[in-house]
Amino acid sequence: MVKQVDHVVLDTLKEKLKEIFGYSQFRGDQEVIIQNILLGKNTFVIMPTGAGKSLCYQLPALVSDGLTIVISPLIALMKNQVDQLTAFGINAQFLNSTLTKAEMTRVKSDALDGSLKLLYIAPESLTKEDNLDFLKKVKISFVAIDEAHCISEWGHDFRPEYRRIYGIIENIGQLPIIALTATATPKVQQDIRKNLQMEEAETFKSSFNRKNLYYEIRPKKDVKKQLIRYIRNNKGKSGIVYCLSRKTVEEVAELLNVNDVRALPYHAGLDSNTRMSNQDAFLNEEADVIVATIAFGMGIDKPDVRFVIHYDVPKSLEGYYQETGRAGRDGLEGNCLMFYSYDDIQKLEKFNKDKTVTERDNARHLLNEMVAYSTLGVCRRRQLLSYFGEYLDKDCGFCDNCIKSTEKSKVQEDVVLVLKAVALTEQRFDCEHIADLLTATENQYVKSYEHDKLEVYGKGLELNESREYWISTIRQLVIFNYLEKDVENYGVIRLSTKGANYLNDPYQVTLHKDHNFEEEEVKPEDDDKETAAAGSAHAYDEALLGMLKALRKKVAKEKNLPPYVIFQDPSLEEMATTYPTTQQEMAQINGVGMGKVQKFGRQFIDLITRYVEENEIETAKDVVIKSTVNKSKIKIFIIQQVDRKVSLDEIAEVKDLELADVIEEVEHICYSGTKLNLDYYINQVIDRERQQDIYDYFMTAETDNIAVALDEFSNDEISEEELRLMRIKFLSELAN
């Protein structure tokens, strides 16, 4: 009989979720992950940054009998999480080299008497004899291994001490393990499971797709001017600028300060007090921008970082994904900009020359993937997801390659040639080998395996295409799922089921020309901003939101906490939309809960009450008296979802409505004077030229009557839905 988590425990979990963390429901797989660990099973979690990984071990720790050990790689990360848990009223501590002997004694005493629920510890501290002896005396519920990708030598952040963790845990006792990571390719996932001897563990893999992030790459020309312009256009927003060297960090931080940007440096060369002080200033909104090496970021959980800029090209796509993942963790705006130059790649290659042969080969593979991501003209999101073993069947429409596409071409013979070459070489070679084969490029392996005798040898030259073209084509066919990577053998590509079927029934495939960043011009800062910053017009009360943020900053300073620990941005935005004036109403705000209301809520409720009275505002409570409860709830729900750029079709599906009903609700909201930005949706369903024609019509028409508009466009096959959507856009922009 399959064991199940007790109903009482499940109810307690949901109560704690709301009471402590302020959420009324779990996200994604959180609930099943928590149940799995509570049943004492080994659990492997792959979940992108910002998707709620930490809750997967923090919540079960609170309802479990005993202490939960959290193995974490960075002191800053431990401090950040302990600060947050302490703010929630939870006894969580860390054990590391920053503590005095007296502080260590107090932590151990709390653990032994059972009052401590979570203990954060570095893998190095685990190996110390006195710590091991102490842990053997404590009742431990389970062990969480955070940033588990550090275990794998195939990953981007390998740490040898992580490979010893399993032996140490085994020494303490037979304990369930939950391993968690945000960045793991299929190869790295396999390595983690093997090293922790948890091949049987249930794996919970969330999508790596962060839909709110906008990805963009620009040529690294006049980079200082570009950087200043970009940050000035995002004035007052929180951002991180990543650089590869400490020297560049210092130079860029100084450059920003000279140009009136509140920026601070962060790198391992600074003394620990300065580093911590600069990090706290960023978390507490006393600095807008932190300029950092990759040492910064794993130690923070700041949800309102609005942009992440890579001033230099990162060493790997895993690193890039993890660092960009620090933008928009609250689900709102997050822009990811990278400046690309092949000079950066060459510098990184020089850094690798003193490594062992294996390390050098791994580093070269990682850099090649970085070059491919930067230069390919394919949708950035499709590339990233493909790298992590996830297939997206269409372009995202929300990255620079989607908005301003490189030249495209439809090909069939080229695709057949590549797939044949992979099949004829028995699916045992990498991308470069196949390109060498097709272009008859000198390569010892081509000759030693007698691949120069195959029918496809040199055929790529007959099509007048270069080796670079074939490498690009092969990489695109991996992204489009005609080819797949062999998990067992790093770099090797083989036919997918889709690719094998294609050879039997070929058809034209659209390929994209690569970027040539040496020749591309730097575009004006405002280009493509309309789409990149979609949703910049909000439905919330901006004046009230500004007051709430100022109050949050004041309260945070008084309590010596980061502002987001008080309330996160989405919670403040919902307050500025629904105007809660009682504790009960405030507790219904997403991310709040009664615990937070009682701890921090009074001043916010008083501020909103005064604001509502002074401005004679009709609140959601008043609306309920005049219309139905459901109407009021649907209105607020739609406003929030549109602000988060959720598709109208998805809103309709969630609320079990027809699309026409949702559009009608949006029309009511718009006619009541609320400004809504539907560009993100309209740009997907109506082409730009058609939009302009309809917009121009409404600009000159005597009426906005849809029947009259339909008559006007009777010869153009423009639908009523298109007209209604464009009328909303027109009125929102000009009337509201």
For CATH 1.10.10.10, the residue range(s) in the chain are 407-512
Distance (Å, whole) CA 610 – CA 313:
50
CB 195 within 8 A of CB 166: yes
307 or 621, which is more confident: 307
> Residue 300's pLDDT is what?
66
Beta bridge partners of 119: 69, 93
**Domain boundaries 7-205, CATH class:** alpha beta
Q: What's the pLDDT tens digit per position in 151-192?
A: 887 766 777 888 889 988 998 889 999 999 988 888 889 999
Closest by Cα among 472, 515, 469 to 342: 515
Q: What percent of the chain has pLDDT over 70?
A: 91
Across 7-11, 90-94, 231-235, least confident range: 7-11
Is residue 672 over pLDDT 90?
no
Residue carrying structure tokens 């789409």: 531
For CATH 3.40.50.300, the residue range(s) in the chain are 7-205, 213-401
Fold for the domain defined by 538-617: DNA polymerase; domain 1 (1.10.150)
> Residue 122's pLDDT is what?
87
Distance (Å, whole) CA 45 – CA 178:
7
CA 462-502-508 angle, to 5 degrees, is 60
Is residue 622 over pLDDT 60?
no
Q: What's the pLDDT tens digit per position in 249-282?
A: 999 999 999 888 999 999 988 998 898 899 889 9
* Token code pair at residue 662: 């949702």
> Residue 156's pLDDT is what?
66
Is residue 630 over pLDDT 80?
no
Q: Give φ, ψ of 239 to 5 degrees.
A: -150, 160
Q: Give φ, ψ of 459 to 5 degrees.
A: -65, -25
> Residue 528's pLDDT is what?
47
Average pLDDT over residues 703-716: 78
For CATH 1.10.10.1390, the residue range(s) in the chain are 620-736
Average pLDDT over residues 500-516: 95
Q: What percent of the chain has pLDDT over 90?
A: 48
In terms of phi and psi (left: phi > 0; alpha: psi -120 to 50; beta: otherwise), the region of 426 is left
> Residue 226's pLDDT is what?
92
620 or 461, which is more confident: 461
For CATH 1.10.150.80, the residue range(s) in the chain are 538-617
Give kind and range of the element (H or E) at residue 542. helix 542-559
Is residue 507 over pLDDT 90?
yes
Average pLDDT, the chain: 86
* Token code pair at residue 714: 């009777």
> Residue 559's pLDDT is what?
84
Task: Kindly indicate the confidence band of residue 524, based on its pLDDT and cuts at 50, 70 and 90.
Answer: low
Closest by Cα among 464, 466, 465, 501 to 482: 501
> Residue 653's pLDDT is what?
84
- The CB-based long-range contact list for 423-427 (8 Å cut-off, 24+ gap) reads 423/495, 423/503, 424/451, 424/454, 424/455, 424/456, 425/449, 425/451, 425/454, 427/486, 427/492, 427/493, 427/494, 427/495
* Token code pair at residue 397: 């429409």
Cα of 410 vs its chain's centroid, Å? 32
CATH superfamily of 213-401: P-loop containing nucleotide triphosphate hydrolases (3.40.50.300)
Average pLDDT over residues 474-490: 91
Average pLDDT over residues 437-453: 91
Longest dimension (CA), the chain: 85
218 or 593, which is more confident: 218
Distance (Å, whole) CA 21 – CA 572:
15
The domain 620-736: what is its CATH number?
Answer: 1.10.10.1390
Distance (Å, whole) CA 83 – CA 563:
12
Average pLDDT over residues 50-69: 91
Distance (Å, whole) CA 311 – CA 242:
6
Count CB atoms within 10 A of the CB of residue 521.
Answer: 7
> Residue 331's pLDDT is what?
85
> Residue 297's pLDDT is what?
62
Distance (Å, whole) CA 537 – CA 670:
13
Distance (Å, whole) CA 329 – CA 333:
9
Is residue 573 over pLDDT 50?
yes
Cα of 352 vs its chain's centroid, Å? 28
Distance (Å, whole) CA 243 – CA 293:
5
Average pLDDT over residues 441-454: 90
Task: Kindly indicate the confidence band of residue 634, based on its pLDDT and cuts at 50, 70 and 90.
Answer: confident
Closest by Cα among 213, 279, 190 to 51: 213
Average pLDDT over residues 348-366: 84
> Residue 535's pLDDT is what?
38
Q: What's the pLDDT tens digit per position in 162-172?
A: 888 998 899 88
Closest by Cα among 242, 243, 241 to 261: 241
Query: Whole-structure pTM over 0.95, yes or no?
Result: no
Q: Give φ, ψ of 207 to 5 degrees.
A: -65, 140
Closest by Cα among 390, 414, 367 to 484: 390
> Residue 241's pLDDT is what?
97
Amino acid at 195: N
Half-sphere exposure of 698 (CA within 13 A, CB side): 23
Count CB atoms within 10 A of the CB of residue 527.
Answer: 11
> Residue 734's pLDDT is what?
63
Choose which CATH entry (3.50.40.10, 1.10.10.10, 3.40.50.800, 3.40.50.11610) describes domain 407-512. Answer: 1.10.10.10
Q: What's the pLDDT tens digit per position in 594-618?
A: 777 888 899 999 999 999 988 887 6
Is residue 439 over pLDDT 60?
yes
> Residue 428's pLDDT is what?
94
Across 53-57, 119-123, 209-213, 328-332, least confident range: 328-332
